[in-house]
């Protein structure tokens, strides 16, 4: 295999031999192909694309570049997983996991950290004092057997080729390639060892995929990769034109996830959590359908078993589940409605960027996170407000940053005279 020949082949619109493509990826992971050649290949793929067979070969090679887990074999039963493509206020996994586990189905998940306006699940969990995201495989399996769920950080030995390739794409304007996005996500999911996966593909202003058509194309590619690998995959296409739920910010989101687990969450977030939980339960070895999964998920919330499982899970990973221990920002400043009317829009990206400026996110991978700061969006699309009502509340470290965030969040709101069309949180399902 010569990298220059594969670059030329893809530049000219040709299709790679699966073995040669796999060797290119593995050689790059071994530092045998320089960044400048791999960057050229990524740009050729950007313009020419990859076939389904090439995407599958790429995914397989990235999995082969490191270690893999087979959680089903280690536990002796079917393990499920849930993944989101990332959005503003997306704390879904923190709420879904305990509900599914309370229903008797193990959920093992490897998560990442946030970059930009979309927060990472690990960052949110680390706002809980003492919470430990690094577990050995033995600890992970033991916790899954004892508690029924675990959310941990991805090990350095899991899909190292993807980590290296993504870092290169990030600095060469080649991130937004559907086949490479699909392969990146699914290589990690498949290597982590779950047998059934529900993928939450965000659509809209605050998501990577801005249109339903683009999101559907990504969902179909990810589902095909999973199906070819013998996994069961459902993709939920969900609205990210406005923040999910009310809370945007690490500790604020953990608190809202806990509220939702005990039945007091915002309507849109609760709907997504119960829907995702129902589909995971239907994929499990319980032998039930989605409707029965929804009934059992709701029952786990209503009878308190989901909250009990949440608390056991947090303690198992060294954290304190008491919400009073979460750090609160010293400055809390309201965002007042400038006029009476109906909220027609809450720009997710603008709210996410406001939280980022407060310190709730990071621009570079080494930047520290402020777990306490963020935004609470009290008024959502379709809500009626009066002049002076609190649209939102900014949680900040100081008055100056709070005032800047208030202005940014206010600009994210559009208030009109007529209610917008309500399309709900779930836009489509690919299964």
What is the per-residue burial (b if ≥16 Cβ within 10 Å, else e) of 76-108? ebbbbbbbbbbbbbbbbbbbbbbbbbbbebbbb
Question: What is the β-pairing status of strands 107-111 and 149-153?
Answer: parallel
- The residue with tokens 């010293």 is 330
Are 306 and 337 part of one and the same domain?
no
Would 66 be classed as within a structural domain? no
Are 35 and 131 part of one and the same domain?
no
380, 327 Cβ separation under 8 angstroms: no
Assign residue 86 the CATH number of its domain.
3.40.1030.10
| Catalytic site positions | 83, 162, 169, 184, 188
Burial class (CB in 10 A: 0-12, 13-18, 19+), 230: exposed
**DSSP-derived 3-state class of residue 194:** coil
What is the per-residue burial (b if ≥16 Cβ within 10 Å, else e) of 385-416? beeeeebbbbbbeeeebbeebbebbbebbebe
Are 320 and 292 part of one and the same domain?
yes
Last residue in a domain, options 302, 324, 346? 324
Would 421 be classed as within a structural domain? no
Last residue in a domain, options 324, 352, 372? 324
Are 346 and 318 part of one and the same domain?
no
- What pLDDT is attached to residue 116? 63
Q: Which helix (H) or strand (E) covers residue 57, if one does?
A: helix 52-64
Would 60 be classed as within a structural domain? no
- What pLDDT is attached to residue 103? 98
- What pLDDT is attached to residue 166? 85
Residues of the chain short of pLDDT 50, as ranges, are none
Are 299 and 340 part of one and the same domain?
no
- What pLDDT is attached to residue 114? 66
Report CA torsion sign: 222, 225, 228, 229: negative
- Distance, in Å, from the CA atom of 274 to the CA atom of 290, rounded to the nearest integer, reads 10
* Structural domains counted in the chain: 3
Are 339 and 320 part of one and the same domain?
no
DSSP secondary structure string, 105-154? --EEEEE---BBTBPPHHHHHTTSTT------HHHHHHHHHHTSEEEEEP
Each residue of 201-240: pLDDT tens digit?
999 999 989 999 999 999 999 999 999 999 999 999 999 9
Are 152 and 194 part of one and the same domain?
yes
**The domain containing residue 235 runs over which residues?**
71-324
Are 261 and 384 part of one and the same domain?
no
Q: In what order do the strands lie in the sheet with 80-84?
A: 149-153, 107-111, 80-84, 196-203, 232-239, 426-430
Beta bridge partners of 151: 109
- What pLDDT is attached to residue 153? 87
């Amino acid at each position: 295999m010569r990298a220059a020949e594969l670059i030329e082949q893809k530049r000219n619109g040709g299709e790679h031999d699966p073995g040669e493509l796999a060797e290119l990826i593995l050689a790059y992971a071994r530092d045998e192909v320089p960044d400048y050649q791999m960057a050229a290949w990524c740009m050729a793929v950007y313009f020419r694309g990859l076939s389904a067979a090439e995407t599958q070969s790429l995914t397989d090679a990235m999995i082969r570049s490191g270690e893999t887990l087979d959680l089903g074999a280690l536990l002796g039963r079917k393990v499920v997983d849930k993944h989101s493509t990332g959005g503003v206020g997306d704390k879904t996994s923190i709420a879904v996991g305990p509900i599914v586990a309370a229903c008797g189905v193990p959920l093992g998940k490897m998560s990442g950290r946030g970059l930009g306006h979309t927060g990472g699940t690990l960052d949110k969990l680390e706002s809980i004092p003492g919470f430990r995201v690094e577990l050995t495989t033995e600890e992970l399996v033991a916790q899954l057997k004892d508690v029924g769920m675990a959310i941990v950080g991805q090990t350095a030995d899991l899909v190292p080729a993807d980590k290296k390739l993504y870092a290169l794409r990030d600095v060469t304007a080649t991130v937004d390639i559907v086949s490479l996005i699909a392969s990146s996500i699914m290589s990690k999911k498949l290597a982590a060892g779950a047998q059934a996966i529900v993928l939450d593909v965000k659509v809209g202003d605050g998501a990577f995929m801005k249109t339903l058509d683009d999101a559907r194309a990504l969902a179909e590619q990810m589902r095909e990769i999973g199906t070819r690998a013998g996994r069961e995959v459902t993709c939920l296409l969900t609205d990210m034109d406005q923040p999910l739920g009310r809370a945007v910010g690490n500790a604020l989101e953990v608190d809202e996830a806990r509220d939702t687990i005990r039945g007091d969450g915002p309507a849109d977030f609760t709907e997504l959590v119960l829907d995702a939980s129902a589909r995971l339960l239907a994929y499990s070895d319980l032998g039930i359908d989605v409707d029965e999964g929804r009934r059992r998920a709701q029952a786990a919330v209503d009878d308190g078993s989901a909250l009990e499982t949440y608390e056991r899970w947090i303690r198992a990973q060294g954290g304190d589940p008491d919400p009073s221990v979460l750090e609160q920002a010293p400055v809390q400043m309201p965002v007042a409605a400038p006029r009476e009317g109906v909220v027609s829009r809450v720009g997710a990206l603008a709210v996410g960027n406001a939280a980022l400026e407060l310190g709730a996110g990071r621009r570079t991978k080494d930047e520290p996170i402020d777990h306490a700061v963020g935004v609470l969006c009290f008024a959502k699309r379709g809500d009626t407000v009066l002049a002076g009502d609190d649209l939102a509340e900014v949680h900040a470290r100081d008055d100056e940053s709070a005032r800047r965030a208030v202005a940014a969040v206010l600009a994210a709101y559009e208030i009109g005279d007529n209610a917008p069309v309500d399309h709900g949180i779930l836009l489509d399902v690919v299964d």
